[in-house]
Structure 1
Amino acid sequence: MSLMVLIERDEALDVLHEQLAGALSGRGRVAMVSGAVGVGKSALLEAVAEQAIERGALAVTATGSPLERDLRLGVIGQLIQDAPLMAAELELALAMLAEGAAAAGRGADVDAQLVHALCTVLLQLSERCPLVLIIDDVHFADRESMICLAYLARRVRFARISAVFSTVDHGAGSEGLLEAELLRQQHCRRVHLAPLSESGATAMAVDAVGLTAAERFGGGWHAATGGNPLLITALVQDYQAQQRARGGEPPEELVPEGWYGRAVLACLTRGEHRMLPAARGLAALGTAEQLDRLVGETPEDVAGGLLALAGAGLVVDGRFRTEAAGAAVLAGMTDEDRMGLHHKAAVLAYERGAQPADVAAHLLRADRVDAPWVVPVLEDAARHALREGSVERAVSYLRLAWTECADERERTKITTMLIRAEWRINPAAPAVRLTQLTDALRRGWLRGSDAAVLARALLWHGRAEEAEEVLQHVLRDAESDPETAAELLIIVPWLRVTHPGVRLPAPPDVEVRSVAAARRLKTTRSLVRVLTERPGEQALAVEPILRGCHLDEMSMETVENALLALTFSERPDLAAPWCDAFIQEASTRNAPSRRARLAAIRAEIAVRQGDMPAAIAHARAALAAIPLTSWGVTAGGPLGSLMLAATATGAYDLVHEQLDQVVLDSMFDTRYGLAYLHARGRYSLATGHPALALRDLLRCGELMESWEMDAPGLIPWRAEAAAACLLMGDVDESARLVGEQLKRCTPETPRAHGMAMRVLAGLSELRHRPMLLRRAADLLRQAGDDYELARVLVDLADAFHELGEFRRSGMIAAWARSVASRCQAEPLLAALSSGESSGGRHSRGTGVHGRSAELLSEAEQRVAVLAATGHTNQEIAAKLYLTVSTVEQHLTRTYRKLGISRRTELPATLDLTPPRSGDPGVAGVH
C-alpha cells in the first residue's frame, strides 16, 4: 500500500506527531488507532515510524497475526527482538520469554513478576533513547502479550515512550478488553480512521490512472468500496490490468477481477473473527435473513460480523456491494465447505417457503440433499425458468432433478421436459436421451403428449421408423385420452406437409380446449391448405394468431407454421416483419435453436423477395446459431436458401462449401429435402449443367406429386425444369412443362406465374416475347421478387434489341441494372455490362434527359414509364385508374419539361424502378 492512502489523514497524523513530540520530552503517551479493516491503519503506522526515525527516536515494531494468535508472548517477543538491546539484556529477556511461554503452555497464568521484568527492559531502554512502540493489528495479539502491553501502557506516562496500537472497529473478546483498559488512561487517545470520501477516492487514484480516468471512475469505485482504500487500490490495479490487456486502451467500464477478489479475502482474514462466517453465509444466501441459523452463530455475533463487513465497505443494507465480492468469498472456501453451506441454505430456504427458484439455486451448488421435496422443487423451478426464457438454468435444474430422482416413471417425465428445454439451445443435445425415452415407451412409462415429444425429436434426427412406432403408441393412447387425441389432431396434418412419408390414420375427432393447442391446430391446417390446395385468403387468417403469440414453450410451432403459410402463399411481404420481430424476441430469451429456426425461415422469405444479400446473411446466421449436425433433416431449409442466394449473386465457392456438407439421406424424405434439391438444381442450371439440374428438379417434382404437395407457391419446379430442357434443346418437353405450370398458377401465385411466363417467352417467337415478358415483369413486381424481376428485364432488354427497338432496350436495361444491383446479382450485372444484353450496348444519355427523374413529378413519371414501354394512352389510363384526358395532360407536361415532342423521344434514362405493388397508384409494365 503506497502513501497515497494517507489522503484525508491529516488530523490523525497531527495527533500522532504531537504525541511523538511529548514523548521526546519525557511525557509518554498511548494512541489507539482504530478503523475498519483496509482503511489504512498500517500505512499510518508506517508514516509514524518514519517520522520517529527522522526525529531521533527508535521505532520498535510488532504485528499481530491470526496465524500466531496461539503463540504465547509472541507480540511482546517481537518488540523485545526488534529493540536494540545489549547482548546480555537480550539474552536475559529471551530467557524470560521462553520461561513465560512454557508456563502459559502448561495452562498457568502469566507471572506478574515476569510481565514486570519484560516491560522494564523496554522502559530502561527508553532512558537511553526515546522509543516509539508500534503494534499493528493488536487485536490478533496473544492474551499474554496483551497483558504485557496493558501493563506497559499504564507505565509510559512519565517515560520517553510513544506507544501506538492499531485495531479494527467492532472488536470483541480480549482485544476489546485491551482497548477498554487503555482508553481508561488519561494519557491514552483514540484515533479513528474513517473511510475515504468520494473526492478522496478520486484523488487516491489520480497518480495511478490519471485525472481523466480517476474522475470518470472515482464515483463508481467509491460506491463499490464504501471508501475502503484497500479495495479502491485493488480496483485501480484491476483497471490497470484491463488496460494492459487492451493494448494500452483504457477500458470502457470497470469490472472487478482478480485484484479486487484478493483484497476482499484480505479484508476477511485481517478483520475481526466474526466477519468471515458472516461473509460466507451472506455470500451463499444473498441476504441476512436466517444468517445465524446458516452459519451456526448467535444473532449477536452475526450482527457484529455484518457491522464489521459494512464498516469495511463490503456490505451495504445487508447485501454485498458487488457480486464480485460474494463470488470471491465463495471461491475462497473449500469445495466441501461451500457445498455444505449451500446444502444448509437450500434446506432453510425450503423450510421458510422460499420460491422454488431460490431453493433450486442452492441445490445446484450443494452436495446431495436427500429429501423427498428436492425433485418437485427442481421441476417447478425449471418450469418457471423456461417461462422467463432462462433456458440454460432450466436445463441445469432438470439435469439435477434427473440425477436425484429414483422413480423411473418420474424420471421419464423429467427426461421429456429436459429434451424440450435442451432443444431450445441445441437440438442435437437431447439426441442421447432418445433411446432412454424409447425404452421407457416400451415399458409403458411414456404416454400421451410426452410420447409425441419423443416422436418429433426422432423425426428431426431422421429416425422416421422409430418415430412411426412411437406415434402408433400415441394413437392407441388417444382412444382413451382426449388430450392425446387433441395432440394427434395437430401432428397428423403437420406430418402431411413436413414428413409426408410418415402416415397415420386420422385420430378421433375431439374438441381442442386449450387456446395454445387451438392456435397450433389452426396454423397447421392453414399450412396444409397452402401446400395442398389453392392458397386463397385462408393464409392471411394466421396473422391475428401471430399478433397474440410469444415464444413460450408451446408456441414455436404455431409461429413457424404461420410464417411458412404466409411465405408459401407468396406473401413474404407480410411474413418478413413478423419473422424479424420473433427473431428479436428469441435473441432476448437465450434460445439459439429457436433463433436459428426463425433465421432459416427469414432466409427463405428473403429469397422470395429477391433480397439475396439478406438471404445469405440470415441463412449464415441460422447455421452459426447451432451447428449443421444439430439441424438433422431440417438442414435442407437453411442450406437451400443459402445456395439459392449464393447462386444468384455468383458466389459459387460458397455453394461448393454447402454441397460438401454431409446431410442425412432421410432429409430427402421430408419437405426440407425439396428445398435442397431445388437449390442444387438452380446452381447446376446457372453453371451450365442443365442435365444435372433437370435430374434434381424432376426428382423434386416427383416427390411433390407423390406427396400430393405440388403447390407452385412451394417450388415452381416445372418452370425451372422447362428452362433446363430449353437449354438442352428439348423444346417440346419445355413447352409441356411450362403449360403444366401455367395451368396450376392462380391469381394468388404471381411469383410462380411470372417465372413460368419468362420461360414461355423464351419458347415463343421473337415478336411475341416483349408482350409475354412485360406480363411476367408485372406479375413479379406484384409478387415483390426483385431477383426474378431482374432476370425478366434482362430478357426483355435483349428482346427489344433483337427487334431493333434500341431506345426501349436501353431503358429496360437501365431498369434491369438498377434492380439487379439491389439483389447483388453479379452474373446479371456482368451480362448487362459485357454487352450480352442490349443494356450493355447503349449509353444512358446526357443533358436534360439525364435529369428526367428530377424534373418529373411522381404521377408524370409513372405515365412516362408506361408510354416509353409502348402502352397506348387508353392502356395507361386503365392501368393507373385515370382518365385519358389526364394521361394526355401528364404527357404534354412531360414533353415540355424534357424538351421533346413525341413519345418515341422519351429518354432511356427515366427511372424505371416503380413503386411497390402495395403502393397507391402503382401500374404494371405490360
Structure 2
Amino acid sequence: MRHGVVGRDEVFDQAWRLLGRPGPVLLEGPAGIGKTELWRALVAEAAHAGWLVLSCAPTEAETELPYAALADLLGPLADRVAELPRPQRVAAEVVLLSGDADETVDVRVVGAATRSLLEAATAANTHPAVLVAVDDAPWLDRPSERALRFALRRVTGLATLASRRPGGTAPGEVPLGLDEGRDGGRLGRVEVPPLDVGALHHVLRERLGVTLSRPMLVRVAREAEGNPLLAIEVVRALQRLPRQPSPGEDLPVAASMHHLLADVLAGLPSESRAAVRLAALLTVPAVVDLAAAGVSTAALDAPEEAGLLVVTPTGVRFTHPVYAAAVRAGIPPGVRRRLHRQLAGLVTDQDERARHLGLCTTDPDPTVAETLTAAAGRWHSRGAPDFAAQLYERAAQLTPADDRDRLGHRRLAAARCRFDSGDFPAARTAADAVAAEFTDDVRAESLLLRAVVAWCGGEAGRVAVDNGTRALAAARPGSALAGRIHAHLAVFDDRPEQGRAHAEAAAVLLDGRDDDHELLAAALVLLFFQEVRLGRAPRTDLLDRALRLEGDEPAWLAGTVPAIWWKAIDDAERARRRLHRMLGRAEARGDEPLQHELLSHLGEAELLAGRWAEAERHITAARELGDQLGTGLVGETWLAGLLDAHRGRLAEAARVAESGLRLADELDDDWCRRIHQQLAGFVALSAGRMVEAAAAYSSLAATIDGTGLVEPLAMRFEPDWIEACVGAGDLDRAAAVLDRLTARHHRLPRPWTTLGSARARALLDSATGVDPGDALDALAAARDAVPPAVLPLDRARCLLVAGIVHRRSRRKLPARQALEAAVGEFTAIGAAAFADRARAELARVGGRPPTPRHLTATEERVARLAARGRTNRAIADELFVSPKTVEANLARIYRKLGITTRAELGAAMTRGDAPTMGDVGG
C-alpha cells in the first residue's frame, strides 16, 4: 500500500518514471477502476517533491460551466496575470473571475493567456518541475479544453498528466492533443489494471468496514472484474439483502452501475431521493440552493451514509462522478423537467437559471427565449462562443415561429459564435441554413458570414466572392450593410478593377458612420491599393486618412496592405515596423492564422531588403506555424525557394518551382502560377540559362497581363526579363520590355525601378552597339542614388552589369574593378549564384591582371594632361621633365589602366576609373 494507493505500487512507479522524462502521461481505464486515486497520488507525490502543481478535476456537470476547469488549473498562477499583455490580462481575469471585461473576450486570447502563464511558470525556475494534471480529461468544459489544448501543444518543459476512461474521446483521439506536444517525447500510456483479490479486500475493509470470507471475496472480485467501485456497490447490494447468497445463487449484477444505484436510491427516504436528484442536476450543488429547494440538512444524511455524497458546510459533491451521471440517467424525463423548473425559480445565478429554463421548457416561450439570448450574449463576451452558440440555438428553438426577425437574428448569432469558436464546418452549415430560410438583411448577413468562413477556412477564393456577391444582392442598396459587404468583397476579389469598384463603393457608403470607422479605413486602404495595382498614380492621401482612422489598431480586413505597399516602394523599414507591430498584437491575441500571414510578409520584406538571415528566420517560423495549423504552405515554400535561389542553392529552388507550377495547374490558380513562374525564371537567370529564363518570364508576363495587374510587387521581374532577353539575343523583346519598365519608372520612381531600368539600359545599349558611356554614367548615378541598405542585391547587380559592359567594350581595368567589387558585395550578402557569375565574367576579362598599385603623383599629372590632348613635349615642358620621362610614365599608366590608346585614357580619366594617390587613403 505504498504511496497510499492500494494495490498500485507497480503502476504508480511506472507513471512516476514516465513523468520524469519528456512527453505527457495518460492514465487509462474504465470508470471506477481507480484512475482518480492513482492520479491524486501522483499529484501529491509531485507536490511533495517540490513541483509546481497545476491541476483540475472536472466533473460531468461542469462541462456546462465554461472555464471552470481552467480557472482551477490556473489559480496558482493568478499573481502572474498582471504581467500579461492587456488583451491576455483581461481574458485571464475573466477566466479566474477576478475582473469583468468591458469588451468581448476572443476565445483565442484565452488560449494565448494560458500559454503565456504556463511559459512564465516554466521559465521561473523556482520549482524542480511544473506539472499540469487533468483528471477525467474528456469531462473538461469545451472552452477550457480548447485553451489547454492550444497551450500544451506550444509550451515546452512541462510535465503533463491526464486520465480518461474508454469512450470519453473519439476512437484513436488522445485528449488535449497530448500526442502532439513540442518536447519531442512520446506519449506515455499507463493502463490502470483491475485489482486482485488481496487489494480488493483492503479497499472493502477501508471503505465499508467489512471483511468478506475468502470464497465470497473471490466471487465479488470476479463479478466486478477487479473494478473497485463496482465491487463496493456489489457489497453494498449484498448488505441490503436479507441474507447472503448461497454458493449456487447469483450475486447482484455488477455490470450495470445504473441498476445498482437504482436499488440504492430506492432504499432512500423520498426526501433524500429528491435531494440527490436535485444535487445531480445542479452544475455546482450548493447548500444554499438545495435549502431554497426545500432540502433539509437531515435529508442529506441517508445518501451520505450510503456513500453517495459528501456534505460540506457550503456544498455537496458526489463521491464519484459516475454516481452523479447514473442518478441523472435514472430520472424520468417528466420528473427531470419538473425539477429543472423548480431549480430555475430558485437559483440566484442568472446563467444557471437560464440553463434550467432551457432544459425545462418544451413549447415556444418568448420570455424564456429572451433570457437564453441574454445569457448567450454574456457567455460570448466572456470568451465561450461555443457555449453561447448552444444557448442561441436553444433560444431560437423557443422563439415563436411568427417572430421572424428575432428568430433569424438568433440563428445568425449562433452561426457567428460557431465561427468565432473556430468550428468552420458548423458555421458554414449554419450560415447556409439561415440564408436559405430568411430574406433581406438576415439573408445578406448570413451570406456575408458564409463568405468570411470561406475566406478564412481555406476554401477557393471564388466561393468567398460568390457568397459576397449574393449577400450584396440581398442587402438594401445604399445601406451600411451593403457598405460592409463591399469592403469585404474588395479583399475577396483579386481582380484589380472589381476590387477597386467594391472598395470605392464601401468608402462612399461607410463614410461618416462612426461605428464602421475600422471598415472605412480598410476600404480606403483597398481603394488606394487597387488603383495602384491598375497602374494609376498613387493617391497617398487615401492611405494617410486610412492610417489616421486606424489609430493604434490596424484593421484585420486589410491590415497588411500598407506594408505590402511599402515593400513595393522599397520602404523596408516602414513595412518592417508595421508588420512587427501587427505580429506582436496577433501573438498577444493568440491569432495564429494572422501570425502565419505576417511572418510570410516579413520573410518577403527581409528578402527584398537583402537581410537573408532574418528572412530565413521568418520564413521558417511561417512554415512551422502553417504546418501546425494545417494550412497550405504554398506561399512560404515559394519564399524558401526564392531564398535558396538567392543563396545559390539552385537545384533546391528549381524543385520548388516545378512542384509549384504543377500545383498551380491542378488548382488552376493564377496567383500560385505567377509566383512559381517568377521563381523558375530567376533560377534560370541565376544559372546563366538565358533562353530558359526569357521563356519563363514571358509566360509570367502573360499570366500577369491576363489578370489586369500593373503594380506593384508583381512587376519587379521586368529588369531580369530584359537581362534574359539580351542574353538570349532577343533584343526586340528586350527593347519592348524596357519601354514598359521606363514608363513604370516615370509614373512612379522607386529604388527598384531606378536601379532596374539603369541596369537594363546599359545591357541593351551594349548589346545593340550603342556607345555605353552615357548608360554607364546613368548606371553609376542610379547606384549612388540608392542607399546601400535599401536594395543591396540590386546595387551589386549594377556592378556586375557595369563589369560586363566594360568587358564588351574591351576596357579591362574598369571591367575588372567593377566585377571584383561585385564579387565582394555578392559575397557579403550571401548571393552565391551571382558571385559565381561575377567570377565567371572576371575570368572572361582575360589578359594580364593590372598591377594593384595606384598611379603615382607624377603619373596622375601626366595622365590628366595627356587626357586633355597635350603632346608629350607640352607635358614635358609643363612638368619640367624630359619627353622620354613622359613617354615612360605613359607606358606605366597604360599598363596599370589596362588600356592602349589616348582615347581610352581620356574616357578613363573622365569617368574617374583611374586609381590615384588620393584613393589610397579613401
| TM-score, normalised by the number of residues in structure 1 | 0.51
Q: Is the 8 A contact 1:423 1:430 kept in 2?
A: yes
Q: Is the 8 A contact 1:530 1:711 kept in 2?
A: yes
Q: Read off the aligned partner of 2:790 and give its amino acid letter.
A: G
| TM-score, normalised by the number of residues in structure 2 | 0.51
Q: Secondary structure at the match of 2:762?
A: helix
Residue 730 (structure 2) pairs with residue 710 (structure 1): no
**CA distance in structure 1 between the aligned counterparts of 2:290 and 2:630, rounded to whole angstroms:** 49
- In structure 1, the partner of 2:883 is none
What do residues 854-884 of structure 1 show as CA deviations (whole Å, max 9, x unaligned)?
xxxxxxxxxxxxxxxx9xxxxxxxxxxxxxx
Q: Read off the aligned partner of 2:436 and give its amino acid letter.
A: D
Q: Read off the aligned partner of 1:753 and give its amino acid letter.
A: T
Q: Secondary structure at the match of 1:617?
A: helix
Quote how far apart the aligned CAs of 1:466 are: 9.1
- In structure 2, the partner of 1:534 is 537
1:548 to 548, 552, 555: 552
Matches within 5 A, 1:45-60: none
Residue 738 (structure 2) pairs with residue 734 (structure 1): no
Q: Read off the aligned partner of 1:548 and give its amino acid letter.
A: D
Q: Read off the aligned partner of 1:298 and give its amino acid letter.
A: S
Q: Secondary structure at the match of 2:538?
A: coil
Count of matched residue positions in the alignment of Structure 1 and Structure 2:
613
Q: Is the 8 A contact 1:395 1:422 kept in 2?
A: yes
**CA distance in structure 1 between the aligned counterparts of 2:277 and 2:835, rounded to whole angstroms:** 69
Matches within 5 A, 1:87-486: 214-217=48-51, 252-253=158-159, 255=161, 257=163, 281=279, 285-286=283-284, 288=286, 291-292=289-290, 297-298=295-296, 336=329, 348=343, 354=349, 372=365, 413=409, 416-417=412-413, 425=422, 430=427, 436=433, 439-440=436-437, 446-455=442-451, 461-462=459-460, 464=462, 467=465, 471=469, 474-475=472-473, 477-479=475-477, 482-486=479-483
Taking structure 1 as reference, are residues 452 and 308 closer, same or farther at Cα in structure 2, changes over 3 Å only? same
Quote how far apart the aligned CAs of 1:761 are: 3.2
2:828 to 815, 818, 822: 818
- In structure 1, the partner of 2:920 is 905
Q: Read off the aligned partner of 1:487 and give its amino acid letter.
A: R
Quote how far apart the aligned CAs of 1:432 are: 5.1
Quote how far apart the aligned CAs of 1:557 are: 0.6
**CA distance in structure 2 between the aligned counterparts of 1:359 and 1:792, rounded to whole angstroms:** 75
**CA distance in structure 2 between the aligned counterparts of 1:419 and 1:673, rounded to whole angstroms:** 35
- In structure 2, the partner of 1:827 is 833
Q: Is the 8 A contact 2:609 2:792 kept in 1?
A: yes
**CA distance in structure 1 between the aligned counterparts of 2:157 and 2:331, rounded to whole angstroms:** 33
- In structure 1, the partner of 2:702 is 699
Q: Is the 8 A contact 2:500 2:526 kept in 1?
A: no
What do residues 232-256 of structure 1 show as CA deviations (whole Å, max 9, x unaligned)?
xxx99989xxxxxxxxxx9855746
Q: Secondary structure at the match of 1:758?
A: helix
**CA distance in structure 2 between the aligned counterparts of 1:837 and 1:339, rounded to whole angstroms:** 94
Q: Is the 8 A contact 1:646 1:655 kept in 2?
A: no
Residue 764 (structure 2) pairs with residue 763 (structure 1): yes
What do residues 383-425 of structure 1 show as CA deviations (whole Å, max 9, x unaligned)?
6666566666666666777888885876765665566556564
Q: Is the 8 A contact 1:810 1:839 kept in 2?
A: no
Quote how far apart the aligned CAs of 1:549 are: 1.6
Q: Is the 8 A contact 1:677 1:697 kept in 2?
A: yes
What do residues 455-498 of structure 1 show as CA deviations (whole Å, max 9, x unaligned)?
5566784474994586366257433x632343356357557765
- In structure 2, the partner of 1:620 is 623
Taking structure 1 as reference, are residues 783 and 279 closer, same or farther at Cα in structure 2, changes over 3 Å only? farther
Residue 574 (structure 2) pairs with residue 577 (structure 1): no
**Among the aligned pairs, what percent are the same residue?**
12
Taking structure 1 as reference, are residues 816 and 690 closer, same or farther at Cα in structure 2, changes over 3 Å only? closer
Taking structure 1 as reference, are residues 476 and 418 closer, same or farther at Cα in structure 2, changes over 3 Å only? closer
Taking structure 1 as reference, are residues 558 and 640 closer, same or farther at Cα in structure 2, changes over 3 Å only? same
Taking structure 1 as reference, are residues 473 and 422 closer, same or farther at Cα in structure 2, changes over 3 Å only? closer
Q: Read off the aligned partner of 2:824 and give its amino acid letter.
A: A
What do residues 693-749 of structure 1 show as CA deviations (whole Å, max 9, x unaligned)?
133322244135xx3x42245533533432342233212221221232122225652
**CA distance in structure 2 between the aligned counterparts of 1:338 and 1:585, rounded to whole angstroms:** 50
Taking structure 1 as reference, are residues 213 and 673 closer, same or farther at Cα in structure 2, changes over 3 Å only? same
What do residues 603-642 of structure 1 show as CA deviations (whole Å, max 9, x unaligned)?
443443344414532552564354456xxxxx87556545
Taking structure 1 as reference, are residues 819 and 315 closer, same or farther at Cα in structure 2, changes over 3 Å only? farther
Q: Secondary structure at the match of 1:818?
A: helix
Taking structure 1 as reference, are residues 598 and 414 closer, same or farther at Cα in structure 2, changes over 3 Å only? farther
Q: Is the 8 A contact 2:465 2:489 kept in 1?
A: no
**CA distance in structure 2 between the aligned counterparts of 1:609 and 1:330, rounded to whole angstroms:** 66
Tell me the C-alpha RMSD between the 2 structures.
6.3
Q: Is the 8 A contact 2:609 2:790 kept in 1?
A: yes
- In structure 2, the partner of 1:804 is 813
**CA distance in structure 2 between the aligned counterparts of 1:490 and 1:398, rounded to whole angstroms:** 28
**CA distance in structure 2 between the aligned counterparts of 1:236 and 1:743, rounded to whole angstroms:** 65
Taking structure 1 as reference, are residues 584 and 434 closer, same or farther at Cα in structure 2, changes over 3 Å only? same
What do residues 757-796 of structure 1 show as CA deviations (whole Å, max 9, x unaligned)?
3333332436566545444545664783444445445545
Q: Secondary structure at the match of 1:478?
A: coil
Q: Read off the aligned partner of 1:738 and give its amino acid letter.
A: L
Taking structure 1 as reference, are residues 692 and 260 closer, same or farther at Cα in structure 2, changes over 3 Å only? same
Specify every segment of 5 or more residues in structure 1 that has no aligned partner in the other structure, as ranges. 7-66, 68-201, 226-234, 240-249, 630-634, 847-869, 871-899, 908-926
What do residues 195-218 of structure 1 show as CA deviations (whole Å, max 9, x unaligned)?
xxxxxxx9x999x97xx9844139
Taking structure 1 as reference, are residues 470 and 260 closer, same or farther at Cα in structure 2, changes over 3 Å only? closer
Q: Secondary structure at the match of 1:490?
A: helix
Quote how far apart the aligned CAs of 1:819 are: 1.8
Q: Secondary structure at the match of 1:804?
A: helix
- In structure 2, the partner of 1:490 is 487
Q: Read off the aligned partner of 1:285 and give its amino acid letter.
A: T
Q: Secondary structure at the match of 1:586?
A: helix
Matches within 5 A, 1:52-91: none
Q: Is the 8 A contact 1:560 1:598 kept in 2?
A: yes
Q: Secondary structure at the match of 1:557?
A: coil
What do residues 75-112 of structure 1 show as CA deviations (whole Å, max 9, x unaligned)?
xxxxxxxxxxxxxxxxxxxxxxxxxxxxxxxxxxxxxx
Residue 559 (structure 2) pairs with residue 559 (structure 1): yes
Q: Is the 8 A contact 2:418 2:424 kept in 1?
A: yes
**CA distance in structure 2 between the aligned counterparts of 1:361 and 1:830, rounded to whole angstroms:** 73
**CA distance in structure 2 between the aligned counterparts of 1:237 and 1:332, rounded to whole angstroms:** 26
**CA distance in structure 2 between the aligned counterparts of 1:342 and 1:606, rounded to whole angstroms:** 64
Taking structure 1 as reference, are residues 741 and 381 closer, same or farther at Cα in structure 2, changes over 3 Å only? farther
Taking structure 1 as reference, are residues 641 and 370 closer, same or farther at Cα in structure 2, changes over 3 Å only? farther
Taking structure 1 as reference, are residues 803 and 468 closer, same or farther at Cα in structure 2, changes over 3 Å only? same
- In structure 1, the partner of 2:755 is 754
Q: Is the 8 A contact 1:592 1:625 kept in 2?
A: no
Structure with max Cα Rg: 1
Q: Is the 8 A contact 2:132 2:158 kept in 1?
A: no
Q: Read off the aligned partner of 1:474 and give its amino acid letter.
A: L
Quote how far apart the aligned CAs of 1:803 are: 3.6
Q: Is the 8 A contact 2:487 2:522 kept in 1?
A: yes
Taking structure 1 as reference, are residues 808 and 588 closer, same or farther at Cα in structure 2, changes over 3 Å only? same
Matches within 5 A, 1:800-879: 803-805=812-814, 806=816, 809-820=819-830, 825-828=831-834, 831=837
